[in-house]
Structure 1
Amino acid sequence: MNSKPFARRPGARPSSGHAAPSSSSSRSDQARRPPPRALPALPTGSLSESLLVASDGLAAVLKGYALNDGLLGLWRAYPELTAASRGAVQDLLYSTLRDHGRGSSILQTLLSKPLEEPRIEALLLIALHRLETRPETAHTVVDQAVEAAAHLAEGRLKALVNGVLRNALRQWPALIAGLADKPEAHWRHPAWWIEKVQHQHPEHWQALLAGNNTHPPMSLRINPRRSSLTDYRRELEAADISCVELGPLALRLNTPRPVAALPGFAEGRVSVQDWGAQQAATLLDLQDGQRVLDACAAPGGKTAHLLELADIQLLAIELEESRCQRVRDNLSRLGLTAELQTADCSHTRDWWDGQAFDRILADVPCSASGVARRHPDIKWLRRAEDVAGFATVQAEILDALWLVLAPGGKMLYLTCSVFAEENGQQVARFAARHANCRRAAFADGTTEKQWLPDAQHDGFYFALLEKTL
């Protein structure tokens, strides 16, 4: 069985237009996919089947492979999985990773020595999470996990899985009580992450960490060129989908739904985009006729939003052709057009034609600490030193893009991070380096915005930089 179904990207953010500060990833490694392999004779759609496949996915994450892109490799590895089974596997992976600090602490208590088989360790972590979140199904979980273990490690550790899980059931109250004085288990984040937000967000750190462990909201952006808020709300009501209004063109669903269930999605009347991410296009201060650069464009949500709001000449840049294609697909669905180039946005000599831009959207690579609930593997793949690595890349991008911004033009600096090194400190350093940089005020008079994850939106940082004459 292939042990590397995922692309290894320990320093990469889920969505960026620039190479991530990682020393262990490569294009060839990212492109590799495992060959299809047959599942053992487990009942289709059974919990044992889901546990077996999910253990493959979690073992890869624990080795340092990114979950978001790697799920594609998992589906290729198990092509016979039904859509329902894929959903069950994905739910097991995401929920277990959100609570990973808790599960790993419990497992360490139950084991006398570390396990040498990664997929057995992953199976136990998933099963323990299931035992805690669905205690009414405890005996079924144990039986199905043991059945899955019979097909791992040549069945040698089936008895071990059975013993650990049944021991957990006997000791459960004591196991949970033992987590109280373990910050990583209680807050379900690495110690360095906890300490950083305690220091940088002293008034909100507890809510911030707790929010990262919740399911994210599902927000929609109405395409004003094809619908309106009033008309689309009627479509949702007709489909028995309830929502709340967030803004003139934005709604949040009370209960997330599959994209295929959204009226008019395929026809381009609506897009799925977090309410925080929707702020970028409005904060950029667009005007018709402007020449605009989206420097880190994939997957294309913000690119499309810019084109929906104004008649502009837009160039969108992405580092990899596969990610550029995602932007094209999004624009095509929405009936929008832009010039796209596959390039490193900081290497301006490779793509710039010498004509300056009136507006630049710099949605730079970052730690993605503001969207960890959407990408729960981030909490465990990131290292403290990665934040400084991203800050270095961000500075390189900003300095390069500043050269192609027209005098009097504006650049919106944007991250999905909550760490100061990537946000306020980064902007302050940039302004100090460039005498012709003025921090422009937003409509509310502020010169920067730090949105922390909450029930309405993910975590984002925004600063508008104006190039003086």
Structure 2
Amino acid sequence: MNPGTLAGQIALAAQISTAVRAGSALPQALAALVVEARLDAAARGAVQDIAYRTMRERGLADGLIDRLASRRPPAELRELLVVALALAVQADAPYAEHTLVDQTVEAAKPGERGFVNAVLRRFLRERAALLDAARQRPEARWNLPRWWLDRLRGAYPERWQAIADAGLLPPPMTLRVNLSQGTRDAYLARLAEAGIGAEALATAPGAIRLQHPVGVAALPGFESGAVSVQDAGAQLAAPLLDPQPGERVLDACAAPGGKTAHLLELADCELLALDIDPERLARVEENLARLGRRAQTRAASADRPADWWDGRPFDRILADVPCTASGIVRRHADIRWLRREADVDQLATLAAGILDALWPLLKPGGRFVFSTCSVFPQEGERQLQRFLDRHPDASVLPAPGQLLPTANTAPAQSDDHDGFYYALLQKRAPSGGE
């Protein structure tokens, strides 16, 4: 099928949805499809947009299919309907209803086209009633698995619905001003001169939110490192670690490099950026090159220091450990469908191993930031408590703790950010010594 047509793009997006349901991350599924289907840039962009729109409404689309179809459709056909219905429920989808129906029918196999046409046209006729009925199920209302919602409800009984609501909204485009090159106010003035609306955020000193997303090429000074794209909550990590000139600093689990670059913007330090994935580590190097900064990069597993540590202790360590990424679902909509409840404990165990492996590498008196992009206490507060039980030489210093997504939960949205957890630790000197 021609990937230059909407029918072809819907069919390809359905293949990606199938891959995600089977456990593949959307970016990887898309990358494989680009090669397999030989997509040009325009087709790739269109398929990517449809696929991400599908992830944001897949719970609702699944619920609608259960009400619309008299029989359970085969897996491949179901994903095609999921894509079509996910697009049909979105007010900002760039397709007229009749076009969407016609093109989805065209994307279906010949023997299935009558069924697809009947299902979609019934949805258009009975839209309001069907949506009201489907949204009675929490999974359809919030487009999250039931186990995920149950965990939110248990951890935040007064706020869980607001957290789930935040995940439904499109993410803002947030910038981090390079304060080593100029002030935030000065960069806001540059944006205004370029006709780009923006406002300062209270969350972090260099944080700016754009009124409308733009391509990075449109950002004044982007190529010269004046500004980077980074969520406001993520901008707290580097200042919390507070590197000083000349210190030896480890950024473990560093990819894609936003925090690495931020650390070097704050201080001219000796920094090692570590990540297990060589391809993602290349992005760290690309970010540093754009900013004109240097760091040693190493592809290795953080929980196996014998493979990469030279024996010299670090003054400061940033451990942004693996997690469910439950705090960033509005940016990575496929995560909600990739994760399984068992992943929470498995990833927490992996993270604990990394924390335990890195702690001995820190100098007495040194600072250690433990962070995740999760909202589940198992990966944040409880992880910290277990770590303190294992390491009596760790002192807790003031830190933000659990940051919850705030989109649309505060009147002014002045602190709009994703969900993160931050703990700041200091290693006590051995008894009787410095």
Q: How many residues align?
A: 417
Residue deviations 1:340-393 (CA, integer Å, cap 9, x gap): 111101101111111111100000000000001111111111111110001100
* In the alignment, structure 1 residue 126 sits paired with structure 2 residue 72: no
TM norm structure 2:
0.92
* In the alignment, structure 1 residue 368 sits paired with structure 2 residue 328: no
* In the alignment, structure 1 residue 399 sits paired with structure 2 residue 356: yes
| Alpha-carbon distance in structure 2 between the residues aligned to 1:181 and 1:80 | 39
Partner of 1:290: 247
8 Å Cα contact 1:59/1:121 also seen in 2: no
Secondary structure at the counterpart of residue 389 of structure 2: helix
8 Å Cα contact 1:68/1:375 also seen in 2: no
8 Å Cα contact 1:316/1:339 also seen in 2: yes
| Alpha-carbon distance in structure 1 between the residues aligned to 2:168 and 2:366 | 39
Letter in 2 for 1:240: G
Partner of 1:30: none
Secondary structure at the counterpart of residue 327 of structure 2: helix
- 1:371-450 mapped onto 2 (5 Å cutoff): 371-442=328-399, 448-450=400-402
- 1:31-430 mapped onto 2 (5 Å cutoff): 40-41=1-2, 44=4, 46-83=5-42, 85-118=43-76, 120-134=77-91, 137-149=96-108, 153=109, 155-246=110-201, 247-430=204-387
8 Å Cα contact 2:60/2:141 also seen in 1: yes
Residue deviations 1:58-116 (CA, integer Å, cap 9, x gap): 12112221113332223223334343x43332222212211211110101222233222
Secondary structure at the counterpart of residue 35 of structure 2: helix
Q: 1:69 to 1:226 in 2, by over 3 A?
A: farther
| Alpha-carbon distance in structure 1 between the residues aligned to 2:276 and 2:350 | 14
| Alpha-carbon distance in structure 1 between the residues aligned to 2:221 and 2:229 | 12
**Structure 1: gaps (5+ residues):** 1-39, 443-447
| Alpha-carbon distance in structure 2 between the residues aligned to 1:41 and 1:359 | 53
| Alpha-carbon distance in structure 1 between the residues aligned to 2:50 and 2:176 | 29
Partner of 2:427: 467
TM norm structure 1:
0.85
Secondary structure at the counterpart of residue 370 of structure 1: coil
8 Å Cα contact 2:13/2:47 also seen in 1: yes
8 Å Cα contact 1:317/1:343 also seen in 2: yes
| Alpha-carbon distance in structure 1 between the residues aligned to 2:290 and 2:44 | 25
Secondary structure at the counterpart of residue 202 of structure 1: coil
8 Å Cα contact 2:188/2:199 also seen in 1: no
Superposition RMSD in Å? 1.7
| Alpha-carbon distance in structure 1 between the residues aligned to 2:387 and 2:380 | 11
Off by >6 Å, runs of 4+ in structure 1: none
Partner of 2:410: none
Q: 1:172 to 1:281 in 2, by over 3 A?
A: same
Instruction: Give identity over the alignment, percent.
Output: 47
| Alpha-carbon distance in structure 2 between the residues aligned to 1:63 and 1:282 | 39
Letter in 1 for 2:403: W
